[in-house]
A and B are shown apart, each in its own frame.
Chain A
């Protein structure tokens, strides 16, 4: 991990590949829903990537990694509970699935700088960011809308956020 913090991609790739079965086992044991497992495993690795600067070489690696995995699993459980609660409440209210998709969120909430930065993104990245953040779709819904896998959508969104940040800060 220390090599990965220094920017060694090959070491990082090796580490992630070696961790994959451990993370799958950990998530699988804690998650009741096997269909969601791979999604959570991917979230764990995205979280690990974003939190990699918080690892200190003098500390044991296991508690750091499994704390991230535990948080991702908990987030998944909470999100699922919220979704189920929302669906139950809609069913109770007699609300049916709309035949026409809802309109996109209005642009008035966006600053002109952000709109310009969004326009400068490649189409695939802009679409991923807009679906998740402006239309507030879940990753699965956004991926289904675009017709790609969830992981591909996450990668596009991740690159989109990075490019947006670079444009807004630059």
Chain B
């Protein structure tokens, strides 16, 4: 391959140049996702969902799960947006670290609470409340995840599917934060399975359609020119 042909390629690229709109700031996308989540949470409460509980704030396990979920959400969303843009490797690493730390905190606190809980015999709540919380968290989390998928479709992520999985986990973790603060059902096992685990379990099934959708959006755009 001659160096002359490289110079010819550069001339061709310059000749083919068309104006492009720079991609949005990562900070703006993250703030947008947070705003969508807050708005969705307000609408969800306005539509009659259980209001935030104040009595549980004294419970360290409750607070630890809440902080863990919030950290997971922020870290996973940061990982997803930073992956869309070249040169943001440090942000991707920080985001992954925060996601892992948040997940460990939420699971650890949930498991600790389950271990300390009094044996209750047959669980009073059953499967329905768990499913209800998981579905609410998914519904609240899918909107910020969609915003991130739109951003990922415009970006140039090396591993698009993995970035979409992080977007799904991040959105669902934010949804789980809302659900965790306003869950009408008690129980340590419920908090562990239906709140702390939801972002990861629900992301497994949500990621597939989101990856397809993001690829379709990216294919439609397929480069800036």
Say whether A4 contacts B86, CB under 8 Å: no
Residues of B within 8 A of A77 (CB): none
- Given A13-B11, A152-B8, A165-B222, 5 additional A-B pairs, CB 8 A: A5-B20, A13-B10, A42-B9, A45-B10, A161-B222
Q: How many interface residues does B have (CB within 8 Å)?
A: 38
Q: How far is the CA of A169 from the CA of B15 in the complex (A)?
A: 23
Residue ID in chain A nearest B19 by CB atoms: A7
Q: Is A114 an interface residue (CB 8 A)?
A: no
Stretch of B21-29, B113-121, B199-207 on the interface side: B21-29
Taking the closest CB of chain A, its distance from the CB of B1, in whole angstroms, is 4
- Which residues of A does B touch, CB under 8 Å? 2, 4-10, 12-13, 16-17, 20, 35, 38-39, 41-42, 45-47, 49-57, 59-60, 62-68, 71, 149-152, 154-155, 158-159, 161-162, 165, 169
- A residues less than 8 Å from B122 (CB atoms): none
Complexed CA–CA distance, A2 and B20 (Å): 10
A49 to B11, CA, bound (A): 12
Interface residue? B54 (CB, 8 A):
no
**Residue of A49, A53, A62, A158 ringed by the most chain B CB atoms within 10 A:** A53
Across the interface, name the chain B residue whose C-beta is closest to A51. B156
Q: Using Cβ atoms and an 8 Å threshold, which residues of chain A touch B85?
A: 54, 56, 64
Q: How far is the CB of A121 from chain B (nearest CB, A)?
A: 16
Taking the closest CB of chain A, its distance from the CB of B18, in whole angstroms, is: 6
Which of B10, B12, B16 contacts A17 (CB under 8 A)?
A: B10
B17 CB–A CB distance under 8 Å: yes
Chain A residues whose C-beta falls within 8 Å of the C-beta of B11 in the assembled complex:
13
- Name the one of A45, A71, A159 contacting B86, with C-beta atoms under 8 angstroms: A71
Q: Shortest CB–CB separation between residue A40 and chain B, in angstroms?
A: 9
Chain A residues within an 8 Å CB radius of B17:
4, 7-9, 12
Q: Which residues of B contact A (CB under 8 A)?
A: 1-3, 5-23, 25, 84-89, 154-156, 158, 220, 222-225
Give Cα A7–Cα B9 distance, bound, in whole angstroms: 18
Given known pairs A13-B10, A45-B13, the reply for A54 and B5 (CB within 8 Å) is: no
When the two chains form their complex, are residues B1 and A54 in contact, meaning their CB atoms are under 8 A apart? no
Q: Which residue of B lies closest to A4 (CB)?
A: B17
* B9 adjacent to A46 (CB under 8 Å): yes
CA distance A12 to B15 in the complex (A): 9
Instruction: Report whether A9 and B14 are in contact in the complex, using a CB–CB cutoff of 8 Å.
Output: yes
30 inter-chain pairs at a CB distance below 8 angstroms, sorted by A residue, are: A5-B22, A7-B17, A9-B14, A9-B15, A12-B13, A16-B14, A20-B6, A20-B10, A38-B5, A38-B6, A53-B20, A53-B21, A53-B154, A54-B155, A54-B156, A55-B22, A63-B86, A63-B87, A63-B88, A64-B86, A64-B87, A65-B86, A66-B87, A71-B158, A151-B8, A151-B9, A152-B5, A158-B12, A161-B223, A162-B225
Nearest A-chain residue to B158, judged by Cβ: A71
Whether A42 and B20, one on each chain, are in contact in the complex, defined by CB atoms closer than 8 angstroms, is no
List chain B residues, Cβ under 8 A from A35: 1
Interchain nearest-CB distance for A162 vs B (Å): 6
Closest B residue by C-beta to A48? B13
A64 and B210 alpha carbons, distance in the complex (Å)? 27
Contact B12 A13 (CB under 8 A): no
Q: How far is the CA of A49 from the CA of B9 in the complex (A)?
A: 11
Q: Give A162's nearest chain B residue, CB to CB.
A: B225
A57 to B6, CA, bound (A): 26
Chain A residues with Cβ below 8 Å from B22 are 2, 5, 53-57
B25 to chain A, nearest CB (A): 6
- Knowing A56-B22, A67-B87 are in contact, say whether A49-B13 is a contact too (CB < 8 A): yes
